Amino acid sequence: MSAVTESRAWPAEGLARVPYWIYQDEDVYRREQEHIYRGDTWNFLGLEAELPEKGDFKTTFVGEMPVVVTRDEGGALNCFENRCAHRGALLCLKSRGNTKEITCIYHNWTYDLEGNLTGVAFRRGVRGQGGMPEDAKPESEAPRKLRVATFCGLMFATLSEATPPIEQYIGPEVAAKIRRVMKEPVRLLGGYTQVLQSNWKLYFENVKDTYHASLLHLFFSTFRLNRLEQKGGVVVGGEGGSHASFTMMKSDPSGDEYERAGMRSASGGYALEAPQMLESVDEIGDGVTLQILTVFPGFVLQQIMNSLAVRQVLPKGVRRTELVWTCFGYASDDARMTELRMKQANLVGPAGYISLEDGAATGFVQRGAAGASERSSFVEMGGRTVESNESRVTETSVRGLWQQYRRHMGL
């Protein structure tokens, strides 16, 4: 048993309580790097469409570990530490590019696109002097290689041989929801990055919280885009850490629970100067206007009307998170659909009409619970269990996150 588990006990109520020390403890954060990110989880790397050509590479992170993702000369995808075997310097300084080999800028050690050490400058010395001993094995400290799996054009990596196959890990019900959006080859449209002043788990909880959107996000309620009387549901999969929540088009115009309850509403006569931004096409044909999907520990897939994007949640310290958004469309999109997706991209991102408040809300929790490490949040909306549900007035997928988290962390 670790010092963390000896000194920190999970509340007796189980998944219905989340102790605030889980967002604040430096030892917990260090254990997460080992047991989650370098453990038996699949970590999202990006879209295959980001590496379309042989020789393409990108840099990203698995937890705090910098990694390089490449498409080698055989067309295979690879992932390895962004760390030179010599003195530990970063191998790739650019975020992306195309190359035939990778050279460390510090001492010019070279690597192929699979992460193999291929050359050591001055290994034999100069004019018979210096150099390495004959029995030196510099490759013994080579960058660690990660297993790579792809699913519907999404790239994932793991350091563990024990991590189950990717679709089994995601869970079949949630995997079906991924297929629904990733139904054909995609085309990149752009992206954003933002830094959140809160623990990574607070943002991951936020995207699993299925009913805050109609309360926190005024844009949703003002323009009646996401209201809890609309049909929808929550699907929980994998070990609990995968989920998909969805909302159907509103078909019953009678009544309004929001006005009757005195909540924020569509009253006030607000109107958009560019209402065409909210025009949408039921391109998948199932009437779902909004789907938010997650895979533990840091993958988010969104469909908000016709705005499609993936999000990568990256821990940057106990109280700091980086969020990477990549917007995309389908390769078959015509100019009109591309324009519609670009307009609706204003809904998301750091200053998005319906995403702006999330970073603030998670920061409020980080600050509000700063002096309450021995207290817990109350997570009983919709019950105390982890299961799929036809109602979105539930925290079942939040509890699912903690179910999988506790398994990995031994808590």
Q: What residue segments make up the domains of the chain, in order of their start?
A: 43-149, 170-409
| Angstrom distance (rounded) from CA 232 to CA 372 | 35
The per-residue pLDDT for 228 is 58
The per-residue pLDDT for 344 is 92
**Average pLDDT, 10 consecutive residues per value, the chain (411 residues):** 62 97 98 98 98 98 98 98 98 97 97 98 92 95 98 98 98 98 98 96 94 72 63 93 88 46 49 76 92 98 96 98 98 96 91 84 95 96 94 93 98 96
Say which CATH class 170-409 falls into: alpha beta
Buried b (16+ CB within 10 A) or exposed e, 156-186: bbbbeeebeebbebbbeebbebbebbbeeeb
The per-residue pLDDT for 259 is 45
- 340's enclosing H/E stretch is helix 335-344
The per-residue pLDDT for 229 is 62
Instruction: Quickly count helices (H) and strands (E) in the chain.
Output: 11, 19
Q: Is the pTM of the predicted complex or chain greater than 0.95?
A: no
**The domain over range 43-149 is classified in CATH as 2.102.10.10:** yes
Tokens linked to 175: 């995997």
- 337's enclosing H/E stretch is helix 335-344
Residue type, 383: G
Tokens linked to 315: 């821990």
The per-residue pLDDT for 265 is 41
| Angstrom distance (rounded) from CA 104 to CA 254 | 65
| Angstrom distance (rounded) from CA 227 to CA 211 | 9
The per-residue pLDDT for 330 is 98
Question: Comparing 43-149 with 170-409, is the CATH topology the same?
Answer: no
The per-residue pLDDT for 357 is 85
The per-residue pLDDT for 334 is 97
Instruction: Find out whether 41 and 296 touch, Cβ atoms under 8 Å.
Output: yes
